Amino acid sequence: MSEPTRRLAVLGDGEPAAAMRTAATAADARLVDLPESDAIVAVGATALRDAARAVASGDAPPVPILPVGDGRHAVDAALAADRLDAVVDGLEGSEGAIGGFERVGHPVLAVEGAGDGRRRLAAADVAFVTATPARISEYGLAFPDGESVSVRADGAAVATPLGSDGYAAAAGGPVVSPGSGLSVVPVSPFTTRPDTWVVTDGVRVTVERGEEPVALVVDGTRRGTVEPHRPVRVETAATVDLLSPTAETG
């Protein structure tokens, strides 16, 4: 029996991820770690965010990601397992559709300027949140087209299409389709008619008024604080390919 030539990394825990590993082996693929993969199967929202950040950072090669689960951009587990052999067969030299799935580009955000010199990546969203209850800060939002606004709010969120139906949507922001831009939304704004925005490239966020630092939350995890008057850039760092069922497959 010949050695499998296609290499898959399967991320995720529990029975669903184990089932995908079994399906990958049955499809004659070799299970490998992220740096060696020809494609990534990400089971669950956490695994999908991890996979997207790994590809964007270079910790994984620029390979397609098959998201598995019940999220808006994910593929049903039964369909993914059924079609995994076609995906494996379609990886050879393919730049287009793979095994009945099309490549859909999703942005990954870079966050820079928080004051510690670190560059953070976000696959879903970036949030600036007033850490002290009942404290309202003022945020300056500067957009690439030159527009700038100030909003009084408990926070501000910037979301990719992947994360626009999560925290940003709960705060009143639009759900954004792939290729349509980034959702920018104030969180609990001090106004009865808040504005929200969809931008193409990114936004610069500054805490303009506030007695205390604001928490920086990246993909749902607190990653430090932002001092007042220090602009933080949130912009697209890379685009990763997620596999989505074509009309024929779906």
Locate 60 and state its tokens.
């994984």
Q: Smallest Cα–Cα separation from 169: which of 181, 153, 157?
A: 157
| First vs last C-alpha separation in the chain | 33
CB 185 within 8 A of CB 157: yes
The label of the residue with tokens 């598995």 reads: 68
According to DSSP, residue 35 is labeled G
Q: Is 90 exceeded by the pLDDT of residue 250?
A: no
pTM of structure: 0.90
- What confidence tier does 15 reach under pLDDT thresholds 50, 70, 90? very high
Spacing of C-alpha 27 from chain mean position:
28
- What confidence tier does 4 reach under pLDDT thresholds 50, 70, 90? low
- What confidence tier does 61 reach under pLDDT thresholds 50, 70, 90? very high
Q: What pLDDT was estimated at residue 1?
A: 46
Q: Which residues, in sequence order, are bridge partners of residue 182? A: 199
Q: Is 90 exceeded by the pLDDT of residue 5?
A: no
Rounded average pLDDT over 19-37: 95
Q: Where are the domains of the chain?
A: 6-99, 108-238
CA-to-CA distance for 188 and 166, rounded, in angstroms? 15
Higher pLDDT, 137 or 60: 60
User: Which residues are within 8 A (CB) of 193 and not within 5 positions of it... i.e. 6 or more apart?
Assistant: none
**pLDDT tens across 134-175, in order?**
566 889 999 988 899 999 888 899 999 999 999 999 999 999
CA-to-CA distance for 88 and 191, rounded, in angstroms? 52
Q: Is 60 exceeded by the pLDDT of residue 132?
A: yes
According to DSSP, residue 36 is labeled G
**CATH number assigned to the domain covering 108-238:** 2.60.200.30
CA-to-CA distance for 141 and 52, rounded, in angstroms? 26
**pLDDT tens across 220-243, in order?**
999 988 888 889 999 999 999 999
Locate 214 and state its tokens.
């604001």
